[in-house]
Amino acid sequence: NAGVTQTPKFQVLKTGQSMTLQCAQDMNHEYMSWYRQDPGMGLRLIHYSVGAGITDQGEVPNGYNVSRSTTEDFPLRLLSAAPSQTSVYFCASSYRVAGELFFGEGSRLTVL
């Protein structure tokens, strides 16, 4: 049972490049979320999904896109990377409303 798996673990991009952060969970969780973590800011919600085909914006959605075609996968797309998107990104999943969030190990992104 792998839990929540994120790839890649590290990535360096140039300004303007696009990329996709992958997230997969094998716990059959309906709820999946993407957070970014910056020093002094805690974890901030980017996008979340309550099930396949359903997504919604969180606190800081600008510059990011998501889709949820299957229960297992929830990729996060950076459309045109900017230095302000340098951060650690965490994917998380939960099996029910108000349930425990299970996090991946994070993806560290640097935008030059």
Partner 1 sequence: QKEVEQDPGPLSVPEGAIVSLNCTYSNSAFQYFMWYRQYSRKGPELLMYTYSSGNKEDGRFTAQVDKSSKYISLFIRDSQPSDSATYLCAMTPPSGNTGKLIFGQGTTLQVKP
- Which of residues 15 and 26 has its CB atom nearest to partner 1 in the complex? 26
Q: Which two tokens stand for residue 106?
A: 């994070």
- Which of residues 41 and 80 has its CB atom nearest to partner 1 in the complex? 41
Q: Is residue 15 within 8 Å of 112, Cβ to Cβ?
A: yes
Q: Which residue, among 11, 96, 91, 83, has the nearest Cα to 47 in the 3D structure?
A: 91
User: What is the C-alpha separation between 100 and 91, in angstroms, rounded?
Assistant: 13
Q: Is residue 54 within 8 Å of 37, Cβ to Cβ?
A: no
Footprint of partner 1 on 46-65 (CB under 8 A): 48-50, 58
Shortest separation between residue 20's beta carbon and partner 1, angstroms: 19
- Which of residues 49 and 85 has its CB atom nearest to partner 1 in the complex? 49
Binding site for partner 1 (CB under 8 A): 4, 31-33, 35, 40-45, 48-50, 58, 90, 92, 94, 97-101, 103-106
